[in-house]
Amino acid sequence: MNIMHVISSAAAGGAEVYVKDISIEMRKRGHRVFIAFLDRAEEAGREQSYEDKFLAELRDNGIEFGFVGARARRNPLKGVAALRKFQRAFKPDLIHSHLYYAAIFSAFLPRVKRVYTHHNIKLRANPILYRFLDRRTHAYVGICNACTSLLKQVATRDVHHIDNAVDAARLVPIENYPDRALVTLLYVGRLSEQKNLALLLNALSRIDSANYRLLLAGSGPEDAQLRQLASELGIAERLDFLGNVDNVSSLLKEADVFVMSSAWEGLPIAQIEATLTGLPVLVTDVGGCSEIVEKVDNGLVVGVEVEAYADALKKMLNDYSARLRYHRNAINNSEIYTISKSVDKHLDLYHSL
């Protein structure tokens, strides 16, 4: 098949990395793949160096791509025109949109099947808009139970549950989980409101022992604010703000616990990467975070209250036997989140259309 994916940008976000991974796997299976990006890095305020590496990986794997341009966010006609141009050149059998802007643009394209994946537990658009999309969308994909249920509230077409997944080939599984006096906690993701990192920092400030350090890999609009909060809470010396990094797999392998304190999520790619690496996880009960832990049994899930999160942190830091059990479960039970499983289900859906 000729398959076109439409996503926001060539960035380090979970949805973007996921689309890259499934596109590469689809190409390996003999399908022709094109990715249409809405924004360039400079337009979206993202790092140019990351975009360059992202695009180089696509070229190396024989994946074609093009850019719609950020102006389409303000003028949908430009988005429709750009996708029509790509359609004439690439001749896709199917267009798979991964954000609602893209679904709107593709709705006006003739003679092509259209799939829409929703990557979050928030609609982010007026439900009336989804009534329009429903007329022009042939199938929906929800990346977790919560997202699937959300889509079913606004869609009359079939909604298929296909879990997010990760290319395990880029990860280095932990073979022997160590018992270290200093426990390394690792967060990977944007420093943004959604990630609710103030909860994590406030919870850490309530822990008396100093047997931990926290690595924060990522950047975002709350960087300065979080640094200031860490200083005010008296925990700044235990934190390392790493910014955007290229060695996520190495960081995961050297960490002891993966932590996430999000206020809302879909099915986080970072959590799946940590799980496939073999890390115990501590996450909040939002979106599909708990679904991963329930299926794999590799950690703790708590609410978004400081006391509950602090208590769970203490258990993780002080109970090596529990961490070791979570590690073993992660190694033994996480295969369901590999990219090949996800692509199998996507291709079955595409063929059915």
**DSSP output for 157-219:** S-EEE----B-GGG----SS----SSEEEEEES--SGGGTHHHHHHHHTT-----EEEEEEB-
Mean pLDDT calculated for residue range 313-318 = 96
HEC profile for 42-90? HHHCCCHHHHHHHHHHHHHCCCEEEECCHHHHCCHHHHHHHHHHHHHHH
Mean confidence (pLDDT) of the chain: 94
pLDDT given at position 41: 83
pTM, 2 dp: 0.90
Instruction: In whole angstroms, give the CA distance from residue 36 to residue 192.
Output: 25
Structure tokens at 89: 């050149």
**Axis crossing angle, helix 145-154 with helix 127-136, rounded to the nearest 10:** 80
Q: Which helix (H) or strand (E) holds 300?
A: strand 299-302
Q: What domains are there in the chain, each with its CATH number?
A: 2-165+338-352 (3.40.50.2000), 168-336 (3.40.50.2000)
Residue pair 241/229 in contact by the 8 Å Cβ criterion: no
Dig out the tokens for 293 from the structure. Answer: 């832990």
Name the residue among 140, 76, 131 with its Cα closest to residue 109.
76
pLDDT band at residue 123 under the 50/70/90 scheme: confident
Per-residue pLDDT tens digits for 152-180:
998 999 999 999 999 999 999 999 999 99
48, burial (CB in 10 Å: exposed 0-12, middle 13-18, buried 19+): exposed
- Copy the structure tokens of residue 138: 């042939």
Residue labelled with tokens 């943004």: 192
Identity of the residue numbered 116: Y
With a cut of 80, say whether residue 117 has pLDDT above it.
Answer: yes
DSSP state of 338: B
Query: What mean pLDDT comes out for the span 39-62?
Result: 89
**Residues 239 and 261 sit within 8 Å (Cβ to Cβ):** no
- The model's pLDDT over 76-108, given as tens digits with 9 standing for 90+, comes to 899 999 999 999 999 999 999 998 888 999 999
Cβ count within 10 A of residue 257: 23
Q: Is 70 in contact with 40 (CB distance < 8 Å)?
A: yes
**Is 268 exposed, middle or buried (CB count within 10 Å of its CB: 0-12, 13-18, 19+)?**
buried
34/87 Cα distance (integer angstroms): 10
Which pLDDT band, with edges at 50, 70 and 90, does 195 fall under?
A: very high
Residue 300, CB half-sphere, CA atoms under 13 Å: how many? 20
Q: Is the pLDDT of residue 183 over 80?
A: yes
**DSSP 3-state assignment of 7?**
strand
